[in-house]
């Protein structure tokens, strides 16, 4: 039950942070959804770092990893908004922004996870 509560609290915190960051950024850049892209890339960087810390000499406990990676990062990032935004771009026949946004999200997400794992190597 403790683990469920940790995920619940982390997810709530992550969702609030996502809202505070993505809402103003999405309204600034028309049809590119910069806010969603930003939170998803930051989330990828963070989850790579957290998992890297967790894997190295148990620098994070299982409960800490659960709270941070599953809870906060899970609530912070959003695949459902990503998919909805792609659908919206398809319906409005904005294919170039669709390809740029989808490509950037996937490529930058993978690179951010790798960078987070790499950064975790420099911690004790």
Domain encompassing residue 88? 2-120
Q: Is the pTM of this model over 0.85?
A: yes
Give the SS3 label for residue 56: coil
Are 107 and 39 in contact by the 8 Å Cβ rule? The answer is no
The helix/strand/coil state of 4 is helix
Residue 92 in tokens:
């409005």
Residues counted in the chain: 124
Cα–Cα distance, 48 to 35 (Å, whole number): 20
Annotated binding site for Na(+): 74, 77
Q: Is 84 helix (H, G, I), strand (E, B) or coil?
A: helix
Number of domains in the chain: 1
pLDDT by 10s per residue, the chain, length 124: 999 999 999 999 999 999 999 999 988 777 788 999 999 999 999 999 999 999 887 789 999 999 999 999 999 999 998 999 999 999 999 999 999 999 999 999 999 999 999 999 988 6
Binding residues: 74, 77
57 burial (CB, 10 Å; 0-12 / 13-18 / 19+) is: exposed
């Amino acid at each position: 039950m403790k683990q469920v509560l940790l995920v619940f609290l982390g997810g709530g915190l992550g969702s609030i942070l996502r809202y505070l960051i993505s809402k103003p950024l999405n309204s600034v850049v028309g049809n590119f959804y910069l806010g969603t892209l930003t939170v998803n890339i930051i989330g990828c960087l963070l989850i790579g770092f957290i998992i890297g810390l967790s894997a190295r000499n148990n620098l994070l406990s299982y409960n800490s990893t659960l709270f941070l990676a599953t809870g906060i990062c899970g609530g912070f990032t959003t695949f459902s908004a990503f998919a909805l935004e792609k659908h919206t771009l398809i319906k409005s026949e904005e294919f170039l922004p669709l390809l740029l946004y989808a490509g950037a999200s996937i490529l930058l997400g993978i690179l951010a996870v790798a960078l987070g794992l790499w950064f975790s190597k420099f911690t004790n």
